[in-house]
Structure 1
Amino acid sequence: MTSNHHSSTTATDSNTADTSKNTHTSNSVPPSSSISKKGARLGAIAIVISLVFGGGLGAYSYHKNQQYQRQIAQLNTALQRNQSALQSKLDNAQQQFDQQAKHLQDTLKTTLDQQQKSLDSLQMAIAKLKGNRSNDWLLAEADYFVKLAGRKLYLEHDPSTAVALMESADERIAALNDPSLTSLRQAMANDITALKAIPLIDQDGLVLRLSSLERKVDSLPIANAIIPKAKATETQTVSTNINDWQQNLWTSLKDFTSHFITFRTRDGNAVPLLSPKQDFYLRENMKAKLETAIRAVYNHQQKVYSETLNTASDWAGRFFSDSDHSVTSFRHTLTTLADKQVKVDYPAKLESQAKLSTLIHERLRRQVSSLTSEDKS
């Protein structure tokens, strides 16, 4: 670049000198040659300018190229550095993942091994319970019978079946021949005694008899109007004594007027004749009373039962014909049924049920504990 510039400068100076000479000389030459020299100078100047511009442009391009190369090198270095850092992070993450996966796998394997051991122990325990613990089956059967007896007693109010079930449970306990179960058998004996002391109530029989009376209501004859008997009056007669003529006259007059107006005195309440509408309502109310008594039998409501039947018996005596045999029999049956016992006091609970359940749970816990101890050893 410097040599070119120097050459250009030298050439320019030479051209300038030549131009001066030519100018000096041109004064003495013809005009045509002067014009040719002037064109040559302009061409030379253009060439010089082109060379200078081309050299400057080349220098500028070279400088920029070097600058771009340095930037590219810096970017490549930064890219390589970032790639190295990223690769390092990926390697660390992969290493941590592998470590965590291995840790989880080891933990899972340990847990599965423990569960398998527990399952094996449980299977062994079940096998021993099935094969070697026949007495436990007798306890389980006794517990089932006692619970079933409780349901029969409190839900179905059937003490007879409850007694039979309790006796079956006692037979299972007796078959164990275990002196440690004496207290349990004593509790079962107390329960059986209490159940046998419960009075037996023939609910079905009472309900059937009440239903039969209800069907009979429509056929009972209604009583006619009841009028109390009049008091007996003394009949006066005319005497034969002539001196009693005044009394005889008064007696004859009263006897004569008695055929027109009669006064009789009666003691007691008169019962009027019922209308057909009242007859219908009476019979329906009587049936309703009997239905109430039937519900009282099932609900063990002694007071409601007795009062309802007594009311029905009173209505039958007041409004139905008491001289009719069917009414008399109807009232007698109501009175008899009203004295029946429908309320029963059941025991609050079965004493043996709680003891038997506790015994079974304790035995099962001891068996499982012994099996677990054997597995650990």
Structure 2
Amino acid sequence: MVKETSTTESTSQKVETLSGSAAAVEKQSKLPTQAGSSGAPVYVDQAQLKELEYRLSTRMAQGSSGAKTGLLWLVTLISLGAAGFAGFTAFQNQQKLMSMSSTYDTIKQQIADATFKVEQKATLLENAHTQNAALQQTTSGLAQNFQTLGTTVNELIAAQQQQGKTVSDLTARVGAFESRNPYDWQLAESYFLVNNAQVKAVFEKDIKAAVWMLTQADELLIDIEDEQVVALREAISRDIANLNNISIVDIRGMGMTLDRAYDNVDTLVLEGFTDPKTRAAAFEKSNEVSADVADWKTNLLNSANQFASRFVEVRRRDAEAATEFLTPEQDVYLRENIKTRILLAKSDLSHGDKEAMQANLADAVRLIKAYYDPKSTITTSTLDMLTGIEKSEITIQTPEVLQSSAAFSQFAREHLLGRGK
């Protein structure tokens, strides 16, 4: 009995020892009774259970057989409890996983919705930026148009002010014209005619035209009963009388006569035989150049005449040729020389240079008398025309200024010019 009791006690001690060891093993193996750091249950996987079973089997092998049997049941119970707890934990984890999956899908959908909304907002923001840029461009164009419109308005205001000033000036001028003398236009036209008569009489030597213009100016003033206008008419009357007293020279008629003489040169009949002394006398110059400085004008005129007389000249190379007929070439040169004299005389006539005209006509007469038949009718008529113009008076003694022109200028400055300003 004593031995059995001791055996039982020893077996109990061994069981307790094994139980303590199992507890230690369970504690080391992190059984499901423990909680993780986050408070969630921690389940034991199958590898850990196998390791625990191996350790218990080893311990039981070292004890008695009874202890081994009790320990085996204990291990079996522990294994079944651990497996059940692991299944329960796996089920809970599966439920949590399904819940988390559902939550994940919900969150994913929310994220997709939020992304869609963000994209919509981004599109709206981009459209807003585009509209803002277009609005800024439109605003810039409107500002520029406003500035241009302001400039145009200022120009229109300035133009309106200028137009108003112009209208005021025109109104003032119309008022001045209304207060004018109704005969002012007649006075102005008469003043114009008197000035033209001054030019015709003094500068152009056209006495007839000057008299006609003065007569027309006087007729415009007939109906005006004014002391100053009557004085103007008296001045015009005196100018008309003075111009009528001037001998009128028909310059145009003389020019036509020289033209007829010029045309006759080509038909002059050469004399078959002429005296050499007569021919030589045709080229003699009566006016020689003097040594006196005071005669510079006469010397210049004589030198010009001598040069013109030698412009085309026919010369004899020997004395025996004096009695020969002129060759055709010499005949042409002679006729051109005479024509040149006539043209120079016509130019002098238009310029009123009497001395130069007479010198050129005298040279032409001498050449005709020396080389052409004096009995020919053409020669006689040509000489008559040239000598008649040579003896004519071409100088017209016109006044330096017309009295009516000076009187009208003073009247215009006092009464016509300056009105209406």
With normalisation by structure 1, the TM-score equals: 0.56
**1:143 and 2:191 aligned:** yes
Q: How does 1:174-213 map to 2 (within 5 A)?
A: 175-181=223-229, 184=232, 188=236, 191-192=239-240, 195-196=243-244, 198-213=246-261
Give, in whole Å, the separation in 2 of the partners of 1:160 and 1:108: 53
Q: Which residue of 2 aligns with 1:220?
A: 269
Give, in whole Å, the separation in 1 of the partners of 2:250 and 2:320: 41
Which secondary structure does the structure 2 equivalent of 1:176 belong to?
coil
Match of 1:12 among 29, 37, 41: 41
Offset at 1:200? 1.6
Match of 1:308 among 342, 352, 360: 360
Q: Which residue of 2 aligns with 1:133?
A: 181
Give, in whole Å, the separation in 1 of the partners of 2:321 and 2:198: 58
Give, in whole Å, the separation in 2 of the partners of 1:290 and 1:176: 52
Offset at 1:315? 0.7
Q: Which residue of 2 aligns with 1:291?
A: 343
Q: Which residue of 2 aligns with 1:247?
A: none
Give, in whole Å, the separation in 1 of the partners of 2:86 and 2:324: 170
Which letter maps to 1:220? V
Which secondary structure does the structure 2 equivalent of 1:12 belong to?
coil
Give, in whole Å, the separation in 2 of the partners of 1:161 and 1:313: 34
Q: How does 1:28-107 map to 2 (within 5 A)?
A: 28-29=76-77, 37-38=85-86, 40-42=88-90, 44-45=92-93, 48=96
Question: What residue ranges of structure 1 are gaps of 5+ in the alignment?
Answer: 1-7, 229-267, 370-377
Which letter maps to 1:293? A
Give, in whole Å, the separation in 1 of the partners of 2:417 and 2:260: 58
Q: Which residue of 1 aligns with 2:289?
A: none
**1:339 and 2:391 aligned:** yes
Which letter maps to 1:292? L
Which letter maps to 2:260? S
Give, in whole Å, the separation in 1 of the partners of 2:383 and 2:154: 92
**1:273 and 2:324 aligned:** yes
**1:162 and 2:225 aligned:** no
Which letter maps to 1:139? L
Give, in whole Å, the separation in 2 of the partners of 1:50 and 1:56: 9
Match of 2:415 among 360, 363, 369: 363
> CA RMSD, aligned part only?
5.7
Give, in whole Å, the separation in 2 of the partners of 1:168 and 1:368: 26
Q: 1:105 to 1:289 in 2, by over 3 A?
A: closer
Which letter maps to 1:12? P
Q: Which residue of 2 aligns with 1:261?
A: none
Q: Which residue of 1 aligns with 2:72?
A: none
Q: Deviations for 1:200-257, whole angstroms, at most 9, x for unmatched residues?
A: 21123323332333343323342514379xxxxxxxxxxxxxxxxxxxxxxxxxxxxx
Offset at 1:139? 0.6
Count of aligned residue pairs for this structure pair: 307
Give, in whole Å, the separation in 1 of the partners of 2:338 and 2:155: 83
Give, in whole Å, the separation in 1 of the partners of 2:162 and 2:276: 101
Q: Deviations for 1:253-302, whole angstroms, at most 9, x for unmatched residues?
A: xxxxxxxxxxxxxxx99832232412333233323322332333334333
Which letter maps to 1:273? E
Identity %: 20
Which letter maps to 2:271? I
Give, in whole Å, the separation in 2 of the partners of 1:51 and 1:283: 145
Would the aligned equivalents of 1:221 and 1:324 in 2 still touch at CA under 8 Å?
Answer: no
With normalisation by structure 2, the TM-score equals: 0.51
Q: 1:11 to 1:306 in 2, by over 3 A?
A: same
Give, in whole Å, the separation in 2 of the partners of 1:271 and 1:56: 151
Give, in whole Å, the separation in 1 of the partners of 2:253 and 2:368: 22
Give, in whole Å, the separation in 1 of the partners of 2:322 and 2:404: 62
Q: 1:49 to 1:193 in 2, by over 3 A?
A: farther
Which secondary structure does the structure 2 equivalent of 1:285 belong to?
helix
Q: 1:102 to 1:336 in 2, by over 3 A?
A: closer
Which secondary structure does the structure 2 equivalent of 1:134 belong to?
coil
Would the aligned equivalents of 1:149 and 1:161 in 2 still touch at CA under 8 Å?
Answer: yes
Would the aligned equivalents of 1:227 and 1:269 in 2 still touch at CA under 8 Å?
Answer: no
Q: Which residue of 1 aligns with 2:372?
A: 320
Give, in whole Å, the separation in 2 of the partners of 1:105 and 1:208: 67
Give, in whole Å, the separation in 2 of the partners of 1:272 and 1:45: 167
